[in-house]
Homo-oligomer: A and B are copies of this chain.
Amino acid sequence: MEKVGRYEFLAEPFHCDFAGRLFIGHLGNHMLNAADFHSTDRGFGMKYLQTINRSWVLSRLAIEMEDVPQQYDRFVVETWVESAMRYFTSRNFRVVGLDGHTFGYGRSIWAMIDTESRQPTDIFSIDDGAINQWIEKEKECPIAKGGRVKMPDEVVHVRSIETYYNDVDINGHINSVKYIEHLLDLWPVDWYRGHRFHRLEIAYVAEAHGGDRLDFYRAGTGSGAATDIEVRKNGGDAVCRARVEFK
């Protein structure tokens, strides 16, 4: 089996925006699926981990696109493990058309937790460090690693939303992809007529649960090239921080 996994997806018509462009949230979901298929095929997927009370938890995700698939496009998400340490592993993605044209790339950082204690556990304990066989250092992922988004003291409250049944994933937490959707929903539909998505970085800091209220705070005016946003729950601590860039 190769180190790089390749998984084909379809830009389903109802997963595309008013202009026929695949929503970035659905693209993110395809990346998470590709990650799970790749790790399942190699013996350390979520379904197996559930049987030993372990789970992968997404810690950071960056998606940078020159272009996105259009409705009915078939495309491939390539994914590979760039590095693994005891408590974190980094996994990259390339989104490529069937004609070989690169749409964009992704970078992600994952931790493994004990699903009972919720504490980080040793990734190398799975099958005697099996993940080390799959590290691919040569394949290029020419986008910046996610930096640390540091929020200023002065932030602007821009929206609060409630979370419900459909927001909660199999781990009992608010689904990682829902944050991507909520973040990109901070810009009005008309904004997307004149701008296109370029890059999103998101750092998942803490877990939120169904019923939590999510409060969105923006750094500064949001009029620069990049907009920094912090999401807090129930008026309290941060659950994630993100940077969004359009072109």
Contact = CB atoms under 8 A, between A and B. Distances in A.
Interface string A213-225: 0000000000000
Contacts of A165: 17, 184-185, 187-189, 191-192
A53 interface: no
13 contacts: A12-B33, A13-B33, A13-B47, A14-B177, A16-B169, A17-B166, A17-B168, A47-B71, A165-B184, A165-B188, A165-B191, A166-B181, A188-B210
Contact of A170 (B36, B71, B172, B211): B71
Nearest to A209: B189
Interface stretch (A18-26, A124-132, A239-247): A18-26
A175 interface: yes
Contacts of A169: 13-14, 16, 18
**Identical chains in the assembly:** 2
A72 interface: yes
B33 A47 contact: no
A29 interface: yes
A164 interface: yes
A76 interface: no
Closest 4 pairs between A and B when the two form their complex, measured CB to CB: A164-B185, A189-B210, A166-B181, A18-B168
Nearest to A19: B170
A20 B170 contact: yes
A46 interface: yes
Contact of A164 (B20, B47, B189): B189
